[in-house]
Structure 1
Amino acid sequence: MEYQFIKDPIMGFRVKMSDEHMLVGRWLNEELPFEQVAILLETANDLPISKQVMVVDGKEIRLTLSHEEALFESHALFHQSDDISKYADDALELDEHGLASGCGYEDFMELLLAWHQFTNRS
């Protein structure tokens, strides 16, 4: 997973990620408050032992974290198909590209730890 942390004087702390993981970057930039990163790290560290699944619902993105993977899904994926069918005459459709992304548990934990260290030292 490729990423770059940026400290922008106007936008604050930001992360840029590859297109494949753009939703993960959006989740870090927009959904996860800085003060929650340490709490999430601590809770997520127990997942390999407990084998439980953790779900974090944000305003626009849901994180489902297990001891194997981190799955990010935009809430737009969960719209009922009958809602979209009302617009069939207008030739509109839901573009699912960029609405789901995932990575392994270890990669996610490395990213989260690096993000935590970056935002706390700057």
Structure 2
Amino acid sequence: MEFQFTRNTLMGEFYVKCSMGHEIVARWLQEEVGKELTKIDQVLAIIDQAKQNPMEEVRLEGKEISLSIHQFDVIVEENVLGHEQELGDSEFDFYDSESTASCGLEDFLTMMEQWHQFITQGR
């Protein structure tokens, strides 16, 4: 997973762009975590917990997008997907690719550590 961080110095806003297929990860990072260091630390703690107990699924529910870690995989998906799957509605299958993404735990950890550093240096 490739990613790039940018900052609007006039507005004090931070942005992340991820490679195709991982757009939802960028949205999750911007919308659910943002520049709040306590949330970043919470995610880093969850990653540490997942690494210590790889057989347990660790989940962080967001307002619109949630994160789950199981073994060495990270899945980021819109919360609405669970409701669509319950209904059995396949009309939205095409859009699911932009609403869910997975990546390796180490890649995700690298992104989170670099995001933490980027936010800290930008303040």
Same fold (TM over 0.5): yes
Equivalence for 2:109:
109
Structure 2 unaligned spans of 5+: none
Q: Which amino acid aligns with 2:98?
A: G
What is the root-mean-square deviation of aligned Cα atoms in Å? 1.9
Quick one: which of 15, 36, 39 aligns to 2:42? 39
- Percentage identity across paired residues of the two chains: 31
CA–CA distance in structure 2, aligned partners of residues 11 and 101 of structure 1? 28
Partners of 1:69 and 1:11 in 2: how far apart? Answer: 32
TM alignment of 1:65-84, pairs within 5 A: 65-79=69-83, 80-81=86-87
Q: What residue number does 2:18 align with?
A: 17
Which 4+ stretches in 1 moved above 6 angstroms? Answer: none
Q: Between Structure 1 and Structure 2, whose CA radius of gyration is higher?
A: 1
Cα displacement (A) at 1:76: 2.2
SS at match of 1:108: helix
TM-score, L = length of structure 1? 0.82
Unaligned runs of 5+ residues in structure 1 are 86-92
Relative to structure 1, is the Cα distance of residues 48 and 18 closer, same or farther in structure 2, using a 3 angstrom cutoff?
same
Q: Report the Cα offset of residue 106 of structure 1.
A: 0.4
Shift of 1:5: 0.4
Question: How many equivalent pairs are there?
Answer: 114
Question: In the TM superposition, what is the alpha-carbon distance from 1:27 to its structure 2 partner?
Answer: 0.3
1:90 equivalent in structure 2 = none
Over 3 Å counting, the alpha-carbon distance change for 1:97 and 1:46 in structure 2 is closer
- In the TM superposition, residue 119 of structure 1 has moved relative to its aligned partner by 0.4
